């Protein structure tokens, strides 16, 4: 058992009742679903969709096949780590629900602990013939993959892009339909914005105050653009040429007046950068589609922009140079999201797979949106529902095919913190070599020298 999961599992002393396909008492079968969601509370829309749409329709579909199947939903309103602890203890004890919601970043940790198994190992060959695989881009399937094995079906996802202010671009003599082809073209655009008087030409999250936003919005997409992933082939990327190029790009921005170092040090710096962008004081900002949906959304955004659709542009994140990105890509991104897995202890694994596949069908995925425009893992659903929002359609069509995901391992948050510290050092004026060497030492202390490439 992995130490991290051993610790959290040992912290919870009370088992919940096993829900792995028990008999229902009327000759039928009972399946259970669990998620960190509850009606009227945390992630309420997931709970409502599960209870009001998934369960009655799946039960009716099974009845039409001559099967008596009952599905129960086990809600939760815990914080994420408490939920993770409960699921770990359930699985360790061969208990728990048949279908389980997990954060995608937990997949590898649970797999290494032996708590979950590849879908085909649990449910058999029918997993491979599921119609949904053809609708989920291979890169997005990576959300549920660990060590080359498919452990889960990806849920909704997102993508990182470069947002920019078209009005500021026009004043700087830059194209309104901007798409940089390299990191240098981003620097060049920032320099033009600076010459035209833009207070903050480029906002690239850096430092520890920004937390995981530094890693996901900045370091990891850039690392992918330099041709590397933070974890691959069982080893972590240390002070490699790719990592040094990333830190060098940060240093270029923050030692030449293209970015505001003070924003990176403030506790609310990210929120402040959002407000500055909305006021027309930031030219280029690296963010996920959350920025479009929830920050500058014209009516209900955190920093609403009534003229968002006309003023805010978005571009793909370029590789360092054309073709230098991971998989030989010209453009890159990073995504997050959750996945659903099967309990390997289910007494009815094939039926549990039917339920899981049903929950990820086009019809079910569309129903879960409840009329909202959000990026899903399925291309057919995105094609159907995102026509009303060109930015989200851009993410679905252009970003998802080239995206990547964080390594789903227990030590990742500590590695992420070390990356954040390295960016803080170069922003504050340390050399790239000094920051990279410090990161290398911290990484080796975390994972061991033999698990680091440099």
Q: What is the pLDDT at residue 175?
A: 97
| 403 in Cβ contact with 331 (< 8 Å) | no
Residue 7 to residue 5: CA distance in whole angstroms: 5
Residue 167 to residue 173: CA distance in whole angstroms: 10
What phi and psi, each to the nearest 5 degrees, are found at residue 115? -80, -30
231: which strand partners? 236
Handedness of CA 395, 400, 404, 406 (dihedral sign): positive
Residue 352 to residue 350: CA distance in whole angstroms: 5
Q: What is the pLDDT at residue 4?
A: 52
Structure tokens at 176: 């309104």
Angle between helices 183-195 and 241-255 (to 10 degrees): 0
Digit-coded pLDDT (tens) for 358-378: 999 999 999 999 998 899 999
E strand or H helix at 349: helix 349-359
| 141 in Cβ contact with 268 (< 8 Å) | no
* pTM confidence score: 0.90
Contacts by 184-187, CB closer than 8 A, 24 or more apart? 185/318, 186/162, 186/284, 186/318, 187/252, 187/253, 187/258
Tell me the helix, strand and coil percentages in the chain, rounded to 5.
50, 15, 35
Q: What is the pLDDT at residue 27?
A: 61
Q: What is the pLDDT at residue 375?
A: 95
Q: What is the pLDDT at residue 454?
A: 83
Nearest CA to 382 among 364, 355, 362? 362
Nearest CA to 100 among 23, 32, 15, 10? 32
Residue 172 to residue 155: CA distance in whole angstroms: 40
Q: What is the pLDDT at residue 8?
A: 42
| 312 in Cβ contact with 166 (< 8 Å) | yes
Residue 200 to residue 258: CA distance in whole angstroms: 6
Nearest CA to 46 among 19, 83, 15? 83
Digit-coded pLDDT (tens) for 220-251: 999 999 999 999 999 999 999 999 999 999 99
One pLDDT digit (tens) per residue for the chain, 454 residues: 444 554 444 333 333 334 455 555 556 899 999 999 999 999 999 999 999 999 999 999 999 999 999 999 999 999 999 999 999 999 999 999 999 999 999 999 999 999 999 999 999 999 999 999 999 999 999 999 999 999 999 998 999 999 999 999 999 999 999 999 999 999 999 999 999 999 999 999 999 999 999 999 999 999 999 999 999 999 999 999 999 999 999 999 999 999 999 999 999 999 999 999 999 999 999 999 999 999 999 999 999 999 999 999 999 999 999 999 999 999 999 999 999 999 999 999 999 999 999 999 999 999 999 998 899 999 999 999 999 999 999 999 999 999 999 999 999 999 999 999 999 999 999 999 999 999 999 999 999 999 999 8
Structure tokens at 100: 């389980």
SS3 284: strand
Apex 216 CA angle, 331 and 370, nearest 5: 90
Q: What is the pLDDT at residue 26?
A: 55
């Amino acid at each position: 058992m992995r130490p991290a999961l051993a610790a959290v599992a040992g912290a919870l002393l009370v088992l919940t009742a096993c829900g792995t396909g028990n008999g229902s008492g009327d000759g039928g079968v009972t399946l259970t679903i669990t998620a960190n969601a509850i009606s009227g509370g945390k992630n309420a829309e997931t709970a409502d969709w599960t209870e009001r749409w998934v369960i009655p329709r799946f039960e009716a579909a099974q009845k039409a096949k001559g099967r008596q199947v009952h599905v129960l939903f086990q809600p939760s309103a815990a914080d994420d780590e408490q939920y993770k602890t409960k699921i770990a203890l359930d699985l360790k004890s061969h208990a728990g629900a048949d279908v389980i919601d997990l954060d995608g970043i937990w997949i590898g940790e649970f797999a290494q602990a032996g708590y979950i198994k590849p879908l085909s190992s649990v449910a058999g060959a029918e997993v491979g013939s599921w119609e949904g695989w053809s609708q989920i881009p291979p890169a997005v399937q990576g959300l549920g993959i660990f060590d080359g094995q498919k452990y889960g079906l990806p849920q909704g996802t997102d993508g990182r892009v470069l947002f920019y202010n078209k009005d500021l671009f026009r004043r700087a003599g830059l194209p309104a339909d901007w798409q940089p082809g390299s990191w240098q073209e981003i620097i060049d655009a920032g320099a033009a914005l600076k010459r035209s008087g833009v207070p903050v030409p480029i906002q690239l999250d850096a430092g520890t105050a920004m937390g995981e936003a530094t890693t996901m919005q900045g370091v990891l997409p850039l690392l992918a653009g330099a041709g590397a992933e933070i974890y691959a082939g069982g080893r972590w990327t240390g002070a490699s040429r790719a990592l040094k190029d990333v830190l060098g790009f940060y240093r270029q921005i923050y030692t030449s007046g293209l970015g505001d170092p003070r924003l990176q040090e403030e506790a609310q710096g990210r929120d402040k950068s959002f407000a500055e962008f909305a006021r027309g004081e930031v030219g280029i900002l690296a963010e996920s589609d959350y920025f479009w949906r929830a920050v500058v959304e014209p009516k209900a955004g955190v920093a609403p922009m009534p003229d968002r659709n006309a003023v805010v542009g978005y571009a793909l994140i370029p590789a360092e140079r054309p073709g230098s990105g991971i998989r030989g890509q010209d453009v890159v991104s990073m995504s997050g999201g959750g996945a659903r897995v099967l309990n390997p202890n289910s007494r009815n694994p094939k039926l549990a797979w039917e339920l899981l596949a049903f929950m990820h069908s086009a019809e079910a995925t569309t129903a879960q949106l409840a009329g909202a425009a959000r990026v899903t893992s399925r291309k057919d659903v995105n094609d159907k529902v995102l026509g009303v929002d060109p930015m989200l359609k851009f993410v679905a069509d252009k970003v998802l095919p080239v995206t990547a995901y964080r390594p789903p391992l227990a030590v990742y948050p500590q590695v992420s913190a070390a990356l954040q510290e390295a960016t803080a050092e170069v922003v504050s004026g340390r050399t790239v070599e000094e920051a990279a060497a410090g990161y290398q030492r911290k990484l080796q202390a975390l994972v061991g020298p033999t698990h680091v490439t440099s």
